[in-house]
Structure 1
């Protein structure tokens, strides 16, 4: 009898081996409610893991960052709940529904719920179109808009556009590394360039809106003697008088300095001065001859 070669069967995978779901880590940040450095350090030494491994400068920096984090307050957050028809429902998150709703009003600089719903649905539609309709990405967009502190609904609308444009540009750039063909890389490269240029234009538009129409006018004064130019910047805000200086002189500079004006006579004889003598008579071309031959 000949023995048959039998291959060992692979071990069956268990749920523990196939589970690749990352575990979320929660970091609790203590907020020492005291102005005393010693008391704050004592609280942090008790509540912060690894406090004893930090030196003096690192402990001071950590305390400063914790206090700055507390000043910024809790950001606006929402919950995304799947509807039976497959859509999403946006619900306020947190312990107090009223507090969450008012923070959304502040985020979009709105005094009613209608513009809040409009901007919130615009964000949700875009994120859903790119497969990023989850609470993490949505709350990240809200955090960006809130950090920019829109002053009115026009700025809030522009900030929603800025977030979507930036996200689309980054997605186009991420496709360059996986592009296998040159035309594909060129397509995504051109798209990313246009989106980044649009994003820059949106930032400039927001800056102009917040400047309130302020203009910078440069007045250049040239001294002919030394050939030096003096540039003075004046800032004018709105109105019809932009670009005009009060009591501005119309002279060209120091009197008597400058090129001479050209006269009518190129040889320098000057322009004739009129006298009291009348004009000379023009002789008759045919004299006093009669009209008959």
Structure 2
């Protein structure tokens, strides 16, 4: 065997090892479209491996979880393709292009594609900065934003910030655990604390946005004249819809 053939075989073997990717396992979730518990149980026993080994309570829990899963629906998903000269091309994916696009619009509470593209670029810039600009991570972000059901584009902006802040905080915490020197641990500890505090304030801001800025202020007066303690409580509400 010549040296050239040996080199080719080694190169081929390396390619084979590098190209061997773990196979993804697909699980099909059945949906018993019936109100009869007995009929639903029979369907599950036929279509769900191991269902016959579950007791009555476990089968009831399985059926409830399947129905809840169906009610939540499928989140918006995209397919990402890297461009030859850098950057990404993002396309809605699914059986119906119109359904997939409408899901994306709903995810960002947008009536046009421009806000959708703007939020996509923001997410990709952050994910790219931490080496996580891939399809799985981007779709995970979409799933989070969709689950929070933004009512307008201001809430969509806030949810993008919340996702990025949370991810950055978790990354800081992971670096804290890997730090070998006290100054490094302190640096990442302080960063994680600030990011977690920012994340909490973002959640509070989103809650206030959904309340419409309403606040409840209680004024409590103590009057002990006459030997008795009398408590008078006045409640006033402040907000954009309250009267002055």
The TM-score range, normalised by the shorter chain, is: 0.7 to 0.9
Q: Verify: 1:41 aligned to 2:41, yes or no.
A: yes
State how 1:246-257 maps to structure 2 within 5 Å.
none
**What is the TM-score when the length of structure 2 is the normalising length?**
0.88
Q: Match for residue 64 of structure 1?
A: 64
Q: Structure 1 residues 27, 227: closer, same or farther in 2, change over 3 A?
A: same
* In 1, Cα distance between equivalents of 2:149 and 2:143: 10
Q: Structure 1 residues 230, 158: closer, same or farther in 2, change over 3 A?
A: same
SS of residue matched to 2:127: helix
Q: Match for residue 50 of structure 1?
A: 50
Q: Verify: 1:198 aligned to 2:174, yes or no.
A: no
* In 2, Cα distance between equivalents of 1:139 and 1:94: 13
* In 1, Cα distance between equivalents of 2:172 and 2:130: 11
- Structure 2 residue runs of 5 or longer lacking an equivalent are 1-9
* In 2, Cα distance between equivalents of 1:240 and 1:54: 55
Q: Pick the structure with more helix per residue.
A: 2
**What is the TM-score when the length of structure 1 is the normalising length?**
0.73
Q: Verify: 1:90 aligned to 2:86, yes or no.
A: no
* In 2, Cα distance between equivalents of 1:100 and 1:239: 37
Q: Match for residue 128 of structure 1?
A: 128
SS of residue matched to 1:216: strand
SS of residue matched to 1:222: strand
SS of residue matched to 2:176: coil
Q: For residue 221 of structure 1, report the CA deviation from its aligned partner.
A: 2.8
Per-residue CA deviations over 1:127-157 (Å, capped at 9, x if unaligned) read: 1111111111111100000010000000000
Q: Match for residue 140 of structure 1?
A: 140
Q: Verify: 1:229 aligned to 2:215, yes or no.
A: no
* In 1, Cα distance between equivalents of 2:127 and 2:241: 42
State how 1:15-26 maps to structure 2 within 5 Å.
21-26=21-26
Per-residue CA deviations over 1:182-224 (Å, capped at 9, x if unaligned) read: 1111111111111111111111110110111211020213231
Q: Match for residue 172 of structure 1?
A: 172
How many pairs were matched up? Answer: 229
Q: Structure 1 residues 88, 212: closer, same or farther in 2, change over 3 A?
A: same
Q: Match for residue 104 of structure 1?
A: 104
Q: For residue 239 of structure 1, report the CA deviation from its aligned partner.
A: 5.2
**Larger radius of gyration between Structure 1 and Structure 2:** 1
- Highest RCO, 1 vs 2 (Cα 8 Å, sep ≥ 6): 2
* In 2, Cα distance between equivalents of 1:64 and 1:234: 43
Q: For residue 232 of structure 1, report the CA deviation from its aligned partner.
A: 5.0
- Structure 1 residue runs of 5 or longer lacking an equivalent are 1-11, 243-293
Q: For residue 30 of structure 1, report the CA deviation from its aligned partner.
A: 0.4
Per-residue CA deviations over 1:151-193 (Å, capped at 9, x if unaligned) read: 0000000100000000000000000111111111111111111
SS of residue matched to 1:111: coil
Q: Match for residue 75 of structure 2?
A: 75
SS of residue matched to 1:32: coil
Q: Match for residue 158 of structure 1?
A: 158
* In 2, Cα distance between equivalents of 1:188 and 1:117: 33
Per-residue CA deviations over 1:241-290 (Å, capped at 9, x if unaligned) read: 44xxxxxxxxxxxxxxxxxxxxxxxxxxxxxxxxxxxxxxxxxxxxxxxx
State how 1:204-243 maps to structure 2 within 5 Å.
204-224=204-224, 225-227=227-229, 229-238=231-240, 241-242=243-244
* In 2, Cα distance between equivalents of 1:40 and 1:102: 32
* In 1, Cα distance between equivalents of 2:157 and 2:239: 25
SS of residue matched to 1:175: helix
Q: How well do the aligned residues superpose, as a CA RMSD in angstroms?
A: 2.1
